[in-house]
Structure 1
Amino acid sequence: MQQSKRGVLLVNLGSPKSPEPKDVKPYLDEFLMDKYVIDVPFLLRALLVRGIILQTRPKRSAEAYKKIWWNEGSPLIVLSERMHKKVSAQAEVPVVLAMRYGQPSIDSGLKALRDQGVTEVLLFPLYPQYAMASTKTIVELAQKLVAEKYPDLHLHHVPAFYNQRSYIENLARSIREKLAGFEYDHLLFSYHGIPERHIRKTDVTKSHCKMDSSCCATKSPAHEFCYRHQCYETTRQVAELLQLPKDKYSQSFQSRLAGDKWLDPYTDVEINKMPAKGIKKLAVVTPAFVSDCLETLEEIAMEANHEFKENGGEEFMAIPCLNDDDTWCATVAEWINDWAATGKVFAPRTAEVTA
């Protein structure tokens, strides 16, 4: 029997091809029409997205992208490519990069691996915490593509790594290094927000998640897929490793949309209140992302910075994501090599996806 050949598909969010409305519009259409991003029936989603949102938002989003765009292209794409290059150089199996939205697509990534003779694929969503609108949509699209176009591929996926010790150590080290010499008053952990109903939908117990301070701290099978719990657990473990006093840090959620109840407290509201509380020097870290993007570079480093100072703040530091940090890339390569050698991810845990 021929031995299977293993390969890895790293998957990040994606980006428009350019910061021009003509390229931002199709990207937003693909993103917002995802049933796990706006989780309403298709006709209502199409009416909302194509009938309302896409009539005005591409122009506004394009202006935001223009503020952060690099000469080499989209920061998220460029940083993901740099990370991919470093990981590939240390990995013992083929590693390909893809995006959930835009290019390079998951379809092209699976094809590239198959064309290299790969028969067993480790799908690696580059999201530390599990959410419908990130991990789940990547896994389900990959499953669909394998079933329809690549039936010879056997698919596995990396589970949420929010509490993996090596990830926590990388994040804590990066924060410590960036904060060296900055006498901050407070460190804010800002995570991307999601609607509260997404938490309830992913609750495998159908009863545990109460969206209060007790359920996330009470052990439950629901935590394997609970974004809120996983965010708080990441914060707790990093703060513990950094030996942060409880009054020295806090957590919030950014990027909410109007009309629904999203996870709170809200980042913009919290930041705007801080100067009046005596917090004049603020550092913000964004652990829901491993690569800097619009939500970190524009929403936090620019907009939140501006609002903080408008409200009386004096100094503001947006701590970069892990990006292509050498030690972080070595950690990812080590995870990949462990799987390539043993067939297990974060041994003894393994997560097999059946197409």
Structure 2
Amino acid sequence: MKKGILLVNLGSPDSPEPKDVKKYLGEFLMDERVIDIPYAARALLVRGIILKTRPKASAAAYKKIWWEEGSPLIVISKRLQNKIQEKVAYPVALAMRYGSMTIEKGLQELVDQGVEKVLLFPLYPQFAMATTETIMVLAEKLREEHFPNLKIESVPAFYNKPDYIEVLSHAIKKHLKGKNYEYLLFSYHGIPERHIRKSDVTKSHCKIDGSCCVTPSEAHEFCYRHQCLEVTRLVAAQLKLKEGSYSTSFQSRLGFDPWLLPYTDRTIERLGKQGIKNMAIVTPAFVSDCLETLEEIAIEGQEIFHEMGGNDYTTVPCLNDDTEFVELLSKWIANWGISKTELV
């Protein structure tokens, strides 16, 4: 049975122009696992309100970070794909959950090469409804409708795998070497609190009360908040960070429902007010730099910090196509089917 790999990232508009941004946002925000409210209410919110106002502002933000080669996330993801392909024997395709580089096209590319079994590799260290789950659900739907003879296996969240933590920690340490900083903020993409409760397989453990994420439970396998906090804990231990010199926050909230706390922008503001003059920030929910890291964190975050009296503000790049990260993913892929424990 010939095997192939499908790497899947979030996606991007085809251009930073409002019409393309509107199309992309429409697909993204109408996903029932992103905005998980009834269809009629979601359509009214997205098409009746958000898409009438947000595309222009989002397009302006994309224009700030757009590269000559195209969308940073797409360019970086392709670099990662190419470097992995050089190291593994399996065909490696790339797809995006949203946008024109569809999962259907990625699966078709592999099938056209004779692939009969696909390793679906969501490029997210942590599990979340709006990332890993929506990719897996769509891939299975497409398999049933268009590729009934194809077998698909999915890579689970790898947030706490020792070799991943080592690679992430080394990348952070390497980038911050010689840099002047007194505080390291771990910023993760935010999600509504209700997503945490919906993903709780026990239906009782996740209370988001400050203790559930550190109390052992099978719920942690699908708990985004626990997995983010665990990445921070493991990396802090690896880097021997002093207590009080780092913390976790969540960015990119949308709407008025309760989202995971504390918020990144308010945390940056608070740190500045508290007298922190030099800080660094890392975004471990993303493996590829994108709008949320290059504009929201690197540009807007820096502006907030400087307004609050801060001096040096250092952003740590995502793993992107870092050599050690490429080696790690290639190792996991090469071990697929040989020793599954090594993969997961």
User: Does residue 1:346 correspond to 2:342, yes or no?
Assistant: yes
Match of 1:13 among 1, 10, 13: 10
The residue identity in structure 1 corresponding to 2:79 is R
Q: Deviations along 1:320-345, whole A, 9 cap, x unmatched?
A: 00000011011101100000434x26
- CA–CA distance in structure 2, aligned partners of residues 274 and 280 of structure 1: 8
Q: Deviations over 1:20-67 (max 9, x none)?
A: 001111100000000000001111111110011100111010000000
What is the aligned partner in structure 1 of residue 334 from structure 2?
A: 337
User: Unaligned regions of 5+ residues in structure 1, if any?
Assistant: 350-355
Q: Is the 8 A contact 1:92 1:340 kept in 2?
A: no
Cα-to-partner distance string for 1:254-302 (whole Å, 9 max, x where unaligned): 0111310000001000100112222110100000000000000000000
Amino acid at match of 2:342: F
Partners of 1:276 and 1:266 in 2: CA distance: 15
The question of 1:97 aligning with 2:94 is answered yes
Cα separation, 1, equivalents of 2:44 and 2:262: 30
* Partner in structure 1 of residue 35 of structure 2: 38
Q: Give matches, 1:32-111, under 5 Å.
A: 32-111=29-108
Indicate if the aligned counterparts of 2:180 and 2:312 stay in contact, CA closer than 8 A: no
Q: What is the distance in 2 between the residues matched to 1:12 and 1:306?
A: 28
1:158·1:345 contact (CA, 8 Å) conserved in 2? Answer: no
- Alignment length (residue pairs): 344
1:117 matched to which residue of 2?
A: 114
In structure 2, C-alpha distance between the alignment counterparts of 1:96 and 1:7, rounded to whole Å: 8
SS class of match (1:9) = strand
Instruction: Please give the alpha-carbon distance, in whole angstroms, between the structure 1 residues aligned to 2:337 and 2:314.
Output: 39
1:299-338 matches, cutoff 5 A:
299-338=296-335
Counterpart residue identity of residue 346, structure 1? E
C-alpha separation in 1, matches of 2:131 and 2:65: 22
* Aligned-partner residue type, residue 78 of structure 1: V
Letter of the structure 1 residue corresponding to residue 234 of structure 2: Q
Matches within 5 A, 1:178-257: 178-257=175-254
For the residue of structure 2 that corresponds to 1:194, the secondary structure is: coil
Q: 1:212, CA displacement in angstroms?
A: 1.8
TM-score by length of 1: 0.96
Looking at structure 2, the residues matched to 334 and 79 of structure 1 have their Cα atoms a distance apart, in angstroms, of 20
Amino acid at match of 1:334: K
1:183 deviates by 2.2
1:352 aligns to what?
none
For residues 213 and 283 of structure 2, the distance between their equivalents in structure 1, rounded to whole angstroms, comes to: 20
The AA in structure 2 aligned to 1:201 is: K
**Is the Cα–Cα contact under 8 Å of residues 4 and 117 in structure 2 kept in the other structure?**
yes
Distance 1:327 1:103 in 2: 29
- Cα distance between partner residues in 2 of 1:57 and 1:183: 36
- Indicate if the aligned counterparts of 1:123 and 1:155 stay in contact, CA closer than 8 A: yes
Q: Indicate yes or no: 2:134 matched with 1:134.
A: no
Offset from partner CA, 1:55-92 (integer Å, 9 cap, x none): 01110100000000000000000000001110111012
- Classify the secondary structure of the residue corresponding to 2:336: helix
Rounded Cα–Cα distance in structure 1 between residues aligned with 2:341 and 2:143: 20
Per-residue CA distance 1:298-319 (angstroms, 9 max, x = gap): 0000000011001100010010
Question: Aligned partners of 1:234 and 1:275: how far apart in 2?
Answer: 24
Name structure 2 gaps, 5 residues minimum. Answer: none
Secondary structure (helix, strand or coil) at the match of 2:207 reads coil
Is 1:260 equivalent to 2:257 in the alignment? yes
Determine the C-alpha separation between the residues in 2 that align with 1:197 and 1:92: 42
- Give the whole-Å Cα distance in 2 for the aligned partners of 1:105 and 1:172: 32
Kindly indicate whether the alpha-carbon contact (under 8 Å) linking 1:146 and 1:153 is maintained by their aligned counterparts in 2.
Answer: yes
8 Å Cα contact 2:188-2:284 kept in structure 1: yes
Whole-angstrom CA distance in 2 between matches of 1:39 and 1:91: 38
Conserved? CA contact 2:103–2:139, under 8 Å:
yes
Q: Which structure 1 residue ranges, 4+ long, deviate > 2 Å from structure 2?
A: 344-347
- The aligned residue for residue 281 of structure 1 is 278
Q: Distance in 2 between matches of 1:267 and 1:104?
A: 30
Q: Alignment partner of 1:316: what SS?
A: strand
